[in-house]
């Protein structure tokens, strides 16, 4: 006689959840700070962070208080009406980004759709003719999302396969190869470039400051929008509010999502003047975007980042953490080639497929995320303690020491 299943979610997933995520291996039921627990009560150090989403950890008391209070007050009204938190969050982001305007949405892919629509409007303004200036240059190994615009901007066979024809107008050039971008950016037909300051899904590949500065110069000369995708690397993760700040460039538009809501679905695009008037009444919109609950979640994240001085902490604590992680190269030079990234966005670059190692790390009590077929990605919450950072290194050491080379 069989009793009730210890994990009904596993059965429901097997029977009724679409298979596009494969078969997720564990059922998570609870989170607190930098830890999550599965249905069997096993605890994990969560350095996958919901793929760079849980910026202030799980169940942060201030985030929880703000979100639950707002949930009891006003959850949704649509953009037919103003709501207070949306206005406050737009203002808070403009203080970080510079004067300009913000459109809210619900995910990273939607943020990039907004940027791509902005690029079309800029191309129209630039050329005076719809369809004449629609070129967007993107980087090899980029990842910009799974919508049709996002996929079109993501030059990866595994993402695009089966969905073609995609949007036209995209050109690809290797990240950090300024000469190639100089050639690809055409003064007449290119309307924008779209670049991740640090590629996440592509394997934690940073754009160099010199490259971003060179791109900025070309964009200014040719009246091309510099659009930066900070969806994964933004909101404090790298030890600056935006990762492009390391290069000192001034984007024309920025895509945000992931860490902005601290776990609540929230995306945003910020646009600098004079481009912030390209969207006029009726040209873009969403039912849910910038709703009072989501905007409050975003405000709570910014308040925590501010009050706990998390950006300075990430910048400071990551120095020692990276140094400890780099010792893994000496420990297993046959497996670990490099440690790269910035702040709390780190790729441990391997000479083997990262997926089995991610599984072994999970078994050993730490969640991480593979990236680009080469990296184990570590994405701690911005408020991870020195002890939690040290624990991540200890788990990596333990698993790597025992790893049998194939």
> Which positions touch ligand PLP (CB under 6 A)?
51, 107-109, 112, 143-145, 196, 200-201, 229, 231-232, 257
Nearest to 191 by CA among 128, 235, 273, 110: 128
> Least distance (Å) from ligand PLP to the CB of residue 107?
4
- Per 3-state DSSP, what percentage of the chain is helix, strand, and coil (rounded to 5)? 40, 20, 40
CB nearer ligand PLP, residue 31 or residue 145 = 145
Assign 269 to helix, strand or coil: strand
CB nearer ligand PLP, residue 101 or residue 141 = 141
CB nearer ligand PLP, residue 112 or residue 383 = 112
> Least distance (Å) from ligand PLP to the CB of residue 391?
25
Residue of this chain nearest to ligand PLP (CB atom): 108
CB neighbours of 95 closer than 8 A, spacing ≥ 6?
none
First-residue to last-residue Cα distance in the chain: 42
Nearest to 368 by CA among 385, 350, 351, 386: 350
CB nearer ligand PLP, residue 214 or residue 265 = 265
> Least distance (Å) from ligand PLP to the CB of residue 289?
13
> Least distance (Å) from ligand PLP to the CB of residue 298?
14
> Least distance (Å) from ligand PLP to the CB of residue 11?
27
Neighbours of 323 (CB within 10 A): 11
Cα angle for residues 166, 119, 243 (degrees, 5° grid): 100
CB nearer ligand PLP, residue 141 or residue 144 = 144
CB nearer ligand PLP, residue 228 or residue 336 = 228
> Least distance (Å) from ligand PLP to the CB of residue 153?
9
What sections of 223-363 are H helices per DSSP? Answer: 292-307, 310-331, 354-363
């Amino acid at each position: 006689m069989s009793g009730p299943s210890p994990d009904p979610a596993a059965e429901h997933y097997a029977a009724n959840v679409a298979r596009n995520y494969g078969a997720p291996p564990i059922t998570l039921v609870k989170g607190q700070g930098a830890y999550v627990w599965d249905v069997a009560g096993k605890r994990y150090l969560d350095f996958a962070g919901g793929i760079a989403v849980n910026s202030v950890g799980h169940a942060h008391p201030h985030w929880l208080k703000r979100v639950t209070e707002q949930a009891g007050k006003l959850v949704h009204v649509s953009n037919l009406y103003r709501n207070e938190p949306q206005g406050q969050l737009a203002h808070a982001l403009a203080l970080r980004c510079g004067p300009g305007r913000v459109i809210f949405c619900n995910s990273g892919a939607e943020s990039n759709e907004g940027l791509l629509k902005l690029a079309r409007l800029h191309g129209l303004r630039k050329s005076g003719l719809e369809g004449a200036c629609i070129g967007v240059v993107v980087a090899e190994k980029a990842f910009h999302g799974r919508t049709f615009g996002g996929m079109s901007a993501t030059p990866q066979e595994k993402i695009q396969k089966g969905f073609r024809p995609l949007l036209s107008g995209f050109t690809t050039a290797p990240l950090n190869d300024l000469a190639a971008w100089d050639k690809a950016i055409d003064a007449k037909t290119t309307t924008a470039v779209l670049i991740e300051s640090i590629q996440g899904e592509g394997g934690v590949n940073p754009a160099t400051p010199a490259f971003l500065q060179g791109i900025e110069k070309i964009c200014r000369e040719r009246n091309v929008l510099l659009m930066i995708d900070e969806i994964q690397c933004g909101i404090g993760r790298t030890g600056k509010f935006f990762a492009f700040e390391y290069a000192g460039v001034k984007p024309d538009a920025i895509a945000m999502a992931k860490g902005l809501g601290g776990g609540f679905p929230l995306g945003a695009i910020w646009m600098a003047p004079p481009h912030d008037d390209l969207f006029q009444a009726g040209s873009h919109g969403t039912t849910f975007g910038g709703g009072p609950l989501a905007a409050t979640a975003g405000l709570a994240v910014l308040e925590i980042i501010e009050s706990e001085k998390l950006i300075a902490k990430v910048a400071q604590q990551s120095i020692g953490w990276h140094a400890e992680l780099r010792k893994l190269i000496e420990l297993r030079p046959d497996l670990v080639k490099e440690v790269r990234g910035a702040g709390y966005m780190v790729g441990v670059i391997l000479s083997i497929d990262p997926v089995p190692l991610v599984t072994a790390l999970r078994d050993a009590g730490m969640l991480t995320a593979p990236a680009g077929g080469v990296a184990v990605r570590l994405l701690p919450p911005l408020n991870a303690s020195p002890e939690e950072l040290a624990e991540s290194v200890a788990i990596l050491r333990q698993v790597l020491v025992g790893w049998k080379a194939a």
